[in-house]
Amino acid sequence: MNRIIYSLILFIAFAFQIHAQTDDVIVSIDNQQIDAQEFEHIYKKNNSNLYNETEKKTPKEYLDLFIDFKLKVVEAENLKMDTSQAFINELAGYRKEIAAPYLTDVKFDDQLVHEIYRRMTHEVSASHILLSLDQKASPGKEKEVLDRLKAIKEEIRNGKDFGEAAAEHSQDPSAVNNKGKLGYFSAFMMVAPFEDAAFSTPVGEISEPVRTSFGYHLIQVHDIRENKGEIQVAHIMKNVPKDATPEVKAKAKAEIDAIYKLLLNGADFADMAKKESQDKRSAVKGGEMPWFAAGRIVAEFSDAAFALKNSGDISEPVETAFGYHIIKKLNERPVASFEESKAEIENKIKRDPERRTSSKKAFVEKLKEEYNFSENSEAKNSLAGKNIQDEQAIPELSLFSIDNKTYGTSELSKYLQEKKISKGAYLSVYDIWVDDEITKLEDSKLETKYPEFRYLMNEYHDGILLFAISQDKIWNFASEDSTGLEAFYQKNKNKFHWGERFKGTIITCESAEVREQAENMFAEEMTIEEIADQLNTEKEVITFENGAWEEGRNHIVDYYVWNGSEPKDFDSATTFIRGDKILPSQKLLDEARGLYISEYQNYLEENWIKELRSKYKVKINKKLLKSIDAI
């Protein structure tokens, strides 16, 4: 009778547990269940710090996107993509990285958190000189580098310009061009020892040599100012390669100037960015960039962006090392309050070995207590005087237990084999083995002990699978499926059009006399190739650029065809055009292949989602969904 009652109690408890779990499931897809806490975590994470605040979704709106995402993951799992060695290795690498802070006793005090927040509210402008040095360098090598750096500092004290010294001596590759200037930076933007020195060196002064993982630095502090917070902008970019010729650079400048003029005349910024910007990542969003602080981006761009006063203001064309930009201010926000920043600061400290102190011993001792560690002292003492390399095998003994599991000499032998330890005293390895087994036990429990760790691992797991299956089903398929792409183009060929264009040639001559000769040859109906052969006998005195240009795409064509303003450094006596306007027309597949591949990918994805939604059963707990607050 007692056994029957006990069984009945267990059954009721088990049933209650299942019921409780079901009540907490917000959506189930196939046999996969997602609880409300996980969904809420992902919802809040993905609806915070968006490029555009209008893109925020309600929980109900976001759930639809979440289901589409999870359907792809479930499909990838059913295709066994999570069993490939590449997937297993990649996920294991991520897990090892994010588990590290959980597997040591991290210590920091409230004073450090407040100090880092103080730094977050300020920005330092500094230059540096780096002499590279390996972290494992010998003391003699350390002294040699330090002596060199002290000699450089003495040269600067005696009147040498810091920037010139950086260009001459620094082993930071960028110093040749920037003379060691780093611009403005705030907390967490440099390695900890560098940041500490920069924020503690007075303006105008040079630090003592600072050791980091890169080597030794001298730091000169130029300025310290209040952090302006973060800004969100959109931009239109014309790329200029580092090795660009003056002609290529001038062409890009003319194009950005033409775009700027169109914007001043009322053209829509987002539309122009989508059509014209060569930063493809932002172009698809109308030029929108992620939020950034002043020190997070090159100074020329940052200074121009933060100089814009009002949302909606646009800058004149700005030159950076990447090319030319027109910047539009979208939004701004100040540095978050200490209360809002504290958790983030603490997490960053935990992940940064140079900022925190840690103790493996304290960590293990804490776990021993938590998991009821007990040791068989008599068995342990019996290992005294015994060596691993001895031929005589040690008897089977129970050495210690933890979390209701016993570890004996057979487990110790396996550990020695795994670590390839073949000599030495058993007791010299014993404590290390105990620490490793306890740490391994804790590592195995991270997902159950720490929800935030489990959520992050799930994100990595799903993200890797999503990338892999999307690559197979959509991205690579769309690029390689030439027959399908052609069929898609034939059905959608009216999607992308050329506007009115000038089709012809831009002719640039060395002199007015050369132009006159060329004009006469054209009158005789000679071809471009024939004219070039006749005039460019000794050197190149005439060049030809063939193409078809819409208004705003070429400053010379705009000047002659659409009555544009006269381009800078332009001579109408030596440069002219030949050709005709052509009417608006559809873009051929080869003329807009990238655009059509993108559209084809969207088409494939829409159809794939429909297939997945009909293939898998999706159940939503609508009552539970309503209980989640929108951001």
Beta pairing class for 575-582 and 25-29 = unpaired
User: Is residue 548 domain-resident?
Assistant: yes
User: Is residue 6 domain-resident?
Assistant: no
567 vs 572: CA distance, rounded Å = 10
Same domain? 303 vs 273: yes
Which residues does residue 235 pair with via DSSP β-bridges, in sequence order?
Answer: 327
The answer to whether 18 and 25 have CB atoms below 8 angstroms apart is: no
Tokens of 84: 């490939």
Same domain? 235 vs 329: yes
pLDDT on residue 358: 64
User: Is residue 75 domain-resident?
Assistant: no
Same domain? 125 vs 204: yes
The answer to whether 279 and 320 have CB atoms below 8 angstroms apart is: no
The answer to whether 195 and 256 have CB atoms below 8 angstroms apart is: no
Same domain? 302 vs 383: no
User: Is residue 622 domain-resident?
Assistant: no
Same domain? 142 vs 240: no
285 vs 287: CA distance, rounded Å = 5
158 vs 141: CA distance, rounded Å = 26
pLDDT on residue 202: 94
580-608 as b/e: b if 16+ CB within 10 A: eeeeeeebebeebeeebbebbbebbbeeb
- Model pLDDT for residues 519-567, shown as the tens digit of each residue: 999 999 999 999 999 999 999 999 999 999 998 888 899 999 999 888 8
Same domain? 285 vs 297: yes
Single out the residue in 408, 424, 447 at which a domain terminates: 447
User: Is the alpha carbon torsion for 50, 56, 60, 62 positive or negative?
Assistant: negative
Q: Which residues of the chain, if any, have pLDDT below 70?
A: 1-23, 49-54, 106-107, 356-359, 391
Same domain? 408 vs 307: no
pLDDT on residue 2: 39
Per DSSP, the three-state class of 172 is: coil
Count helices and strands in the chain by DSSP H and E runs: 27, 21
What one-letter code names the amino acid at 80? K
Q: For the chain, how many structural domains are there in total?
A: 4
Residue with tokens 């402008």, as numbered in its chain: 125
pLDDT on residue 53: 65
Q: What is the CATH number of the domain that holds 262?
A: 3.10.50.40
pLDDT on residue 51: 53
User: Is residue 164 domain-resident?
Assistant: yes
- Model pLDDT for residues 362-380, shown as the tens digit of each residue: 889 999 999 999 999 999 9
Same domain? 571 vs 558: yes
What one-letter code names the amino acid at 238? K
pLDDT on residue 20: 36
Domain that holds residue 158: 110-226
User: Is residue 363 domain-resident?
Assistant: yes
Same domain? 221 vs 244: no
Same domain? 501 vs 552: yes
pLDDT on residue 507: 97
User: Is residue 71 domain-resident?
Assistant: no
Same domain? 243 vs 310: yes
The answer to whether 341 and 120 have CB atoms below 8 angstroms apart is: yes
Residue with tokens 């005087």, as numbered in its chain: 385
pLDDT on residue 280: 80
Is residue 102 exposed (0-12), middle (13-18) or buried (19+ Cβ within 10 Å)?
A: middle
pLDDT on residue 129: 96
Cα dist. 30→313, 578, 606, 619 in Å? 50, 65, 20, 9
Same domain? 222 vs 254: no
